[in-house]
C-alpha cells in the first residue's frame, strides 16, 4: 500500500491520531468536533494555564461546554499537552494559531512560523497538515511548505509522502445554528492528492467539504468573506454619518431597504469593528498586495471609516451632553457592553476599548459593565478597569450622566435601563424596539 492509501485508510477508519496546534477559539471547537466523531485528538498548546484548566475537565471557550470537555477527556478521545514532541506520533495536524497584526499594522506571522518550526522537527512521511489560521495568499506554499520539506526534512515529497492544505476556519463565536460541524469547509491543497487525503480526514467530522484547486484559492476565499463584511460595515457606517447630517433615521432606512427580497443584504452600523478577524484579516491582503505594488483601495477606505467610528460615537455623546448643558469632562459615563459583539466573552480589538480610551482622554469619569467581561486593559495606554458588579448595575445607570450602549448583550433589561437612566447614547439600536426611537432620553447612532 502507498503512503497515501495507508493514511487515507487510517483517516477513514478513524485510527489516525489527530493533533491540533493551537487550542483557542478555533482549535478547541475543531478538536471537539473531531473527537465527537470518533477520532483520537491531542491538542498541543504552549499555554500552561489552558492545559491545566482543560485537565481539570473545564472548558475555557464559551461555545464549548465543560461537560463536553470532561466527557471526551474521560472517554480518552480528547487530550491536551504543552509537549510539542507529541507531534512525532501524529498522522494529521491542523494548525490554528493566532494571526494578529504587529504595532506597525503588518501581519504578525510569528505564531505560524513558530508552530511550523516545531512541526518541522517532527514531520514524517504519512502525515497530513492543514493550516487553518487566516493569512495572506501564498502563506501555505511560500512559507510553510519550504520549512516542512527543506529544513532537515529534505526528501519528503509533497503529494506523495506529505500532504499539505489550507482550510479556512469560519467559526462564528456565540452562534448556535451554524457550527464547526455544519458550516461548509473550503479546502485547497498543494496537489490533488493532498486534497484527497485531507478530505478523507475532514469529511469524517464535517458535513460538507468544498474543495478548491489550490491553497491560494482557499486563503483568498477567506479574505474575500471577511473583506466583504468589513467593506459593507464601513459602507453602512458611512451611511449612518450621512443620515445624521440629513436628519434621517438610519435604522429605519436600513429596515426599509432590507424588505427587498433580493439583491440586498442587511448590515448595521455601530461603534466600530472588533474581534480577531474582520478588522484584521483584510489588512493581511492589503499588506500582501503592497508587496506587489498594488494598493487595495476598498480595504484602506473601509478601514479608515471603521477606525473612526469610536471617535464619532464619543463626539455624539459630547453633543448629547451639551444639549443637556453638561460637559463630558468631570461627568459620569457608564459604558454598557465591552465585548466586540453581543453575548460573547471576547474583547479582542473591541471598539469599546477605543471608546473608553477617548472618553478618559476627554476627562470623563468612566465605568463599564459587561456580564461576560470582568476585566479589561488597554495595552497601548496601559490602563486597567474592572466591570461594575451585576448587583450595582442599576445604581450606576441611575447615577450616570450618560449611559453609552456599546455592545447590545441580550441579557440586559433594556426597559429598566431606559427607566433608570437620565440620558442614553445607543450605538447599536438596542433600544429601538423599547421605544428608543421616540424617547427624548435616548439618542441613537
Ligand X SMILES: NC(=O)c1ccc[n+]([C@@H]2O[C@H](COP(=O)([O-])OP(=O)(O)OC[C@H]3O[C@@H](n4cnc5c(N)ncnc54)[C@H](O)[C@@H]3O)[C@@H](O)[C@H]2O)c1
Positions in the binding site for ligand X (CB under 6 A): 21-27, 44-47, 50, 96-99, 111, 114-115, 133-134, 169, 171, 173, 276-277
Residue 22 C-beta: closest distance to ligand X, Å: 3
Residue 109 C-beta: closest distance to ligand X, Å: 10
Nearer CB in complex with ligand X: 22/272: 22
Exposure b/e, 370-393, CB count within 10 A at least 16 = b: bbbbeebeeeeeeeebebbeeeeb
Nearer CB in complex with ligand X: 27/337: 27
Q: Rounded CA gap, 134 and 168, in Å?
A: 6
Asked if 42 and 17 count as a contact pair (C-beta separation under 8 A), the reply is: yes
Nearer CB in complex with ligand X: 120/393: 120
Nearer CB in complex with ligand X: 15/207: 207
Nearer CB in complex with ligand X: 3/303: 303
Q: Which residue is nearest to ligand X (CB)?
A: 24
Nearer CB in complex with ligand X: 73/308: 73
Nearer CB in complex with ligand X: 181/434: 181
165, 194, 243, 277: the active-site residue: 277
Q: Rounded CA gap, 63 and 69, in Å?
A: 11
Nearer CB in complex with ligand X: 38/46: 46
What's the grid cell of residue 22?
A: 493551537
To the query of whether residue 277 is one of the catalytic residues in this protein, the response is yes
Residue 376 C-beta: closest distance to ligand X, Å: 17
SS (H, E, C) the chain: CCHHHHHHHHHHCCCCEEEEECCCCCHHHHHHHHHHCCCEEEEECCCHHHHHHHHCCCCCCCCCCHHHHHHHHHCCCEEEECCHHHHHHCCEEEECCCCCECCCCCECCHHHHHHHHHHHHHCCCCEEEEECCCCCCCHHHHHHHHHHHHCCCCCCCECCCEEEEECCCCCCCCCCCCCCCCCCEEEEECCHHHHHHHHHHHCCCCCCEEEECCHHHHHHHHHHHHHHHHHHHHHHHHHHHHHHHHCCCHHHHHHHHCCCCCCCCCCCCCCCCCCCCCCCHHHHHHHHHHHCCCCCHHHHHHHHHHHCHHHHHHHHHHHHHHHCCCCCCCCEEEEECCCCCCCCCCCCCCHHHHHHHHHHHCCCEEEEECCCCCEEECCCCCCEEECCCHHHHHHHHHHCCEEEECCCCCCCCHHHHHHHCCCEEECCCCCHHHCCCCCCCEEEC
Residue 21 C-beta: closest distance to ligand X, Å: 4
Residue 182 C-beta: closest distance to ligand X, Å: 16
Residue 25 C-beta: closest distance to ligand X, Å: 4
| Residues annotated as part of the active site | 277
Amino acid at each position: 500500500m502507498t503512503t497515501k492509501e495507508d493514511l487515507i485508510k487510517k483517516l477513514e477508519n478513524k485510527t489516525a491520531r489527530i493533533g491540533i496546534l493551537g487550542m483557542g477559539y478555533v482549535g478547541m471547537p475543531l478538536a471537539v468536533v473531531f473527537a465527537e466523531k470518533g477520532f483520537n485528538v491531542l491538542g498541543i498548546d504552549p499555554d500552561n494555564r489552558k492545559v491545566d484548566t482543560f485537565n481539570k475537565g473545564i472548558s475555557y471557550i464559551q461555545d464549548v461546554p465543560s461537560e463536553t470537555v470532561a466527557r471526551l477527556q474521560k472517554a480518552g478521545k480528547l487530550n491536551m499537552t504543552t509537549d510539542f514532541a507529541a507531534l512525532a506520533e501524529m498522522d494529521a495536524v491542523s494548525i490554528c494559531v493566532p494571526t494578529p497584526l504587529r504595532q506597525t499594522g503588518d501581519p504578525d506571522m510569528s505564531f505560524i512560523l513558530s508552530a511550523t518550526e516545531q512541526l518541522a522537527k517532527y514531520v514524517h512521511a504519512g502525515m497530513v497538515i492543514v493550516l487553518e489560521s487566516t493569512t495572506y495568499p501564498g502563506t501555505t506554499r511560500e512559507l510553510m511548505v519550504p520549512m516542512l520539506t527543506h529544513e532537515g526534512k529534505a526528501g519528503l515529497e509533497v503529494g506523495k509522502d506529505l500532504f499539505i492544505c489550507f482550510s479556512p476556519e469560519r467559526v462564528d463565536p456565540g452562534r448556535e445554528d451554524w457550527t464547526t460541524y455544519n458550516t461548509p469547509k473550503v479546502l485547497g491543497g498543494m496537489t490533488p492528492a493532498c486534497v484527497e487525503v485531507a478530505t478523507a480526514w475532514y469529511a469524517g467530522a464535517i458535513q460538507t467539504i468544498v474543495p478548491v484547486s489550490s491553497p491560494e484559492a482557499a486563503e483568498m476565499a477567506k479574505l474575500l468573506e471577511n473583506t466583504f463584511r468589513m467593506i459593507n460595515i464601513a459602507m453602512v457606517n458611512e451611511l449612518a454619518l450621512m443620515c445624521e447630517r440629513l436628519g434621517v433615521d438610519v435604522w429605519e432606512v436600513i429596515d426599509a431597504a432590507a424588505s427587498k427580497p433580493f439583491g440586498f443584504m442587511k448590515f448595521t452600523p455601530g461603534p466600530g469593528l472588533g474581534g480577531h478577524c474582520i478588522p484584521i484579516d483584510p489588512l493581511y491582503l492589503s499588506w500582501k498586495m503592497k508587496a506587489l505594488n498594488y494598493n487595495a483601495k476598498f480595504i484602506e477606505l473601509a478601514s479608515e471609516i471603521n477606525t473612526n467610528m469610536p471617535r464619532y460615537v464619543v463626539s455624539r455623546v459630547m453633543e448629547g451632553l451639551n444639549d443637556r448643558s453638561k460637559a463630558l469632562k468631570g461627568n459620569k459615563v457608564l459604558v454598557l457592553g465591552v465585548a466586540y459583539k453581543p453575548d460573547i466573552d471576547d474583547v479582542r480589538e473591541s471598539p469599546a476599548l477605543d471608546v473608553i480610551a477617548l472618553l478618559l482622554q476627554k476627562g470623563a469619569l468612566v465605568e463599564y459593565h459587561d456580564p461576560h467581561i470582568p476585566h479589561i486593559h488597554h495595552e497601548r495606554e496601559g490602563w486597567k478597569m474592572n466591570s461594575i458588579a451585576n448587583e450595582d448595575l442599576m445604581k450606576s445607570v441611575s447615577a450616570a450622566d450618560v449611559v453609552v450602549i456599546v455592545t447590545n448583550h441580550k441579557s440586559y433589561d433594556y426597559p429598566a435601563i431606559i427607566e433608570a437612566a437620565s440620558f442614553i447614547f445607543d450605538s447599536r439600536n438596542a433600544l429601538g424596539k423599547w421605544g428608543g426611537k421616540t424617547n427624548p432620553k435616548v439618542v441613537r447612532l
